[in-house]
Amino acid sequence: MSIAAKTNTLWEYANPRKFLATSERVLPFFWMSSLLCLVVGLTWGFFFTPDDYKQGSTVKIIYLHVPAALMAINCWLMMLATSLVWLVRRHHVSALAARAAAPVGIVMTLIALATGAIWGQPMWGTWWAWDPRLTAFLILFLFYLGYVALWEAIEDSDTAADLTSVLCLVGSVFALLSRYAVNFWNQGLHQGASVMRAAAVTGADTEEKVSNIYFYPLLLCIIGFVLLFITLVLYRTGTEIRARRIKALLARERLNG
């Protein structure tokens, strides 16, 4: 199949009926696989990995903190992509997908901030520091709250989609900063990437990276979080599509008297 044909197939999912039919079909697989990966990954990490020689048992927090932080950033990037699709092609499903993803992003950011604070207290001696990465994450969290509040505050859904899409574009700066702040400003308490660093995986650099004993269960947890995110976004987008249809039906009913 050519790229143009593949792209056309992708746009078919802008049709709410097609989207609902496909998501209903794939959702059971995503629910089960995300649950399986999370249960196995977290059980493996919590019960069957040793304490770290420096960090003791707090290393077990990595199985929640890293996947949640990754998803907090990637959720916003997904919202950015769907917002751009809305702004350019005016597909309602894409705007609703962004709306559906935002609460998932809020929870992921909250988990990353909470576990980071709980982990930071015994390791750094403080719950919080105005470190570039931590601050960027806090601002990202506030952007998520603002995004959801803006959707709720505006009656007309097309106007709400327009304004939230612009907000999403602006907030993307902080989504990227929360990932790369450590590289931009070489200061603060938070370490640089030690898991998802291509040069560390290939062995091209000599900086410290997470040991394989922790990496494999962590990878499973990351896959579990990604699958859970996809599951929730598909499910919640379906809910948003139905809620929009109810609004349209009620408006038609009122018009008909």
Which residues bind to other proteins, rule: CB under 8 A? 42, 46-47, 51, 56-58, 60-61, 64-65, 68, 103-104, 107, 110-111, 114-115, 118-119, 121-122, 228, 232, 235-236, 238-239, 242-243, 245-246, 249-250, 252-253
Q: State which residue, 182 or 233, has the beta carbon closest to other proteins.
A: 233
Q: Could you tell me the smallest distance in angstroms from the CB atom of residue 3 to other proteins?
A: 34
DSSP the chain: --HHHHHHHHHGGGSHHHHHHHHHHHHHHHHHHHHHHHHHHHHHHHHHSPPBTTTBGGGGGHHHHHHHHHHHHHHHHHHHHHHHHHHHH--HHHHHHHHHHHHHHHHHHHHHHHHHHHHHHHHHS-S----HHHHHHHHHHHHHHHHHHHHHH-SSHHHHHHHHHHHHHHHHHHHHHHHHHHHHS--SSS---SSS-HHHHHT-S-S----HHHHHHHHHHHHHHHHHHHHHHHHHHHHHHHHHHHHHHHHHHHHH-
Q: Could you tell me the smallest distance in angstroms from the CB atom of residue 1 to other proteins?
A: 33
Q: State which residue, 34 or 177, has the beta carbon closest to other proteins.
A: 34
Q: State which residue, 82 or 177, has the beta carbon closest to other proteins.
A: 82
Q: Could you tell me the smallest distance in angstroms from the CB atom of residue 95 to other proteins?
A: 17
Q: Could you tell me the smallest distance in angstroms from the CB atom of residue 184 to other proteins?
A: 28
